[in-house]
C-alpha cells in the first residue's frame, strides 16, 4: 500500500482497534506508581499491588480466567512484557520481571509461601525473572528463585531453584533439560514474526539478495 492510500478511515479503524485496550489499561492500571507508554489491557484484571511499576508496551490479558497482580511488596515489570489470562503475581517483598518476558496463561509467581511449616516463619524471598524469558502455561515460580535471561520454563513446571541463562527448565521439581541456543539478535525465548532475530534474518536475506554477484544472476536466467 502506498502512502497516498492511507486514509482517514484507516486511522479511524486503527483507533477503534487500539483504543479500547488503552482505555482499559488507564482504568485497571490506575493504582500503579508508574506505567510506561502504550499499555494494553484485555478483559478485567485485578491489579491491586501497592508498589507497582511497569515499563512500556505491556500487555495484560484477563479473559477466560482473571489475572491478579497483588500484594504490598515491590513489583517491577519491564517493557514489552505479556501477561496472559489467569496469571497471578503476588508479592510481599520483591518480584522483578525483566523486559520482553511472556507469562503464559495461569502462571503463578510469588515471593512468599504465605504460611510456615513446622512452626517456622513462612519463606519470603525475592523472585527475579530475566529479560526475554518465556514462562509456560501453569508454571509455578516459588519464593527466592532467580530465573536467568532467555529461559524457557515448560508448561506446568514448578521452579524451586535458580535457573541459568538460556536454558529450558521442565518438570516438578523443575530441572534444566538442556541449554538453548539462539540466532544472533534474538532477545527472547519465544519466537514469532515480531522477534528481533526474525527482522534481522529478513534484513540479512534481503541484503544477500541485493549483493548477489552479477555472474550468479546471469547464470540463473
Ligand X SMILES: CC(C)(COP(=O)(O)OP(=O)(O)OC[C@H]1O[C@@H](n2cnc3c(N)ncnc32)[C@H](O)[C@@H]1OP(=O)(O)O)[C@@H](O)C(=O)NCCC(=O)NCCS
- The residues annotated with a catalytic role in the active site are 115
Of 137, 160, 175, 196, the residue at the interface with ligand X (CB under 6 A) is 137
Q: Which three cell numbers stand for residue 85?
A: 489470562
- Number of helical (H) and strand (E) elements in the chain, helices listed first: 3, 20
Q: Does 132 help bind ligand X (rule: CB under 6 A)?
A: no
Q: Does 201 help bind ligand X (rule: CB under 6 A)?
A: no
- Contact yes or no for 189/150 (Cβ under 8 A): yes
- Lay out the sheet containing 59-62: strands in order across: 40-43, 59-62, 82-83, 102-103, 134-135, 152-153, 167-170, 175-179
> Looking at beta carbons only, is 32 or 170 nearer to ligand X?
170
CB neighbour class for 57 (10 Å; exposed up to 12, middle 13-18, buried from 19): middle
Contact window for ligand X (CB under 6 A) among 6-14, 47-55, 151-159, 209-217: 151-159
Q: Kindly state the smallest distance separating residue 139's Cβ from ligand X, in Å.
A: 8
> Looking at beta carbons only, is 192 or 211 nearer to ligand X?
192
- Phi and psi at residue 216, to the nearest 5°: -65, -40
> Looking at beta carbons only, is 114 or 172 nearer to ligand X?
172
Which residues, other chains included, contact 146 with Cβ-Cβ below 8 Å and sequence gap of 6+?
Answer: 127, 128, 130, 162, 163
Distance, CA of 87 to CA of 18 (rounded, Å): 23
Nearest-5° Cα angle at 123, 85 to 135:
30
Which residues ranging from 49 to 108 are in contact with ligand X (CB under 6 A)?
102, 104
Of 156, 182, 198, 200, the residue at the interface with ligand X (CB under 6 A) is 156
Q: Kindly state the smallest distance separating residue 177's Cβ from ligand X, in Å.
A: 4
Q: Does 154 help bind ligand X (rule: CB under 6 A)?
A: yes
Asked whether the bond before 193 is cis by omega within 30 degrees of 0, the reply is: no
Of 170, 186, 188, 195, the residue at the interface with ligand X (CB under 6 A) is 170
> Looking at beta carbons only, is 75 or 169 nearer to ligand X?
169
Contact window for ligand X (CB under 6 A) among 24-32, 91-99, 168-176, 209-217: 168-176
Binding site for ligand X (CB under 6 A): 102, 104, 136-137, 152, 154-156, 168, 170-171, 177
Amino acid at each position: 500500500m502506498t502512502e497516498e492510500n492511507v486514509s482517514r478511515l484507516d486511522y479511524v479503524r486503527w483507533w477503534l482497534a487500539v483504543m479500547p485496550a488503552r482505555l482499559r489499561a488507564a482504568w485497571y492500571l490506575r493504582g500503579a506508581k508508574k506505567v510506561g507508554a502504550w499499555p494494553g489491557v484485555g478483559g478485567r484484571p485485578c491489579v491491586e499491588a501497592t508498589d507497582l511499576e511497569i515499563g512500556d508496551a505491556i500487555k495484560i490479558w484477563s479473559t477466560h480466567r482473571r489475572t491478579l497482580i497483588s500484594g504490598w511488596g515491590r513489583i517491577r515489570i519491564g517493557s514489552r512484557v505479556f501477561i496472559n489470562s489467569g496469571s497471578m503475581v503476588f508479592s510481599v517483598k520483591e518480584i522483578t520481571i525483566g523486559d520482553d518476558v511472556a507469562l503464559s496463561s495461569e502462571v503463578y509467581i510469588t515471593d512468599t509461601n504465605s504460611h510456615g511449616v513446622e512452626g517456622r516463619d513462612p519463606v519470603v524471598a525475592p523472585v527475579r525473572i530475566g529479560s526475554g524469558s518465556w514462562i509456560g502455561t501453569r508454571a509455578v515460580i516459588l519464593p527466592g528463585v532467580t530465573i536467568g535471561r532467555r529461559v524457557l520454563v515448560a508448561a506446568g513446571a514448578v521452579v524451586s531453584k535458580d535457573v541459568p541463562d538460556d536454558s529450558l527448565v521442565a518438570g516438578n521439581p523443575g530441572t534444566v533439560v538442556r541449554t538453548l541456543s539462539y540466532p544472533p539478535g534474538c532477545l527472547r525465548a519465544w519466537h514469532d514474526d515480531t522477534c528481533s532475530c526474525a527482522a534481522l534474518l529478513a534484513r540479512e536475506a534481503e541484503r544477500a539478495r541485493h549483493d548477489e554477484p552479477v555472474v550468479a544472476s546471469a547464470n540463473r536466467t
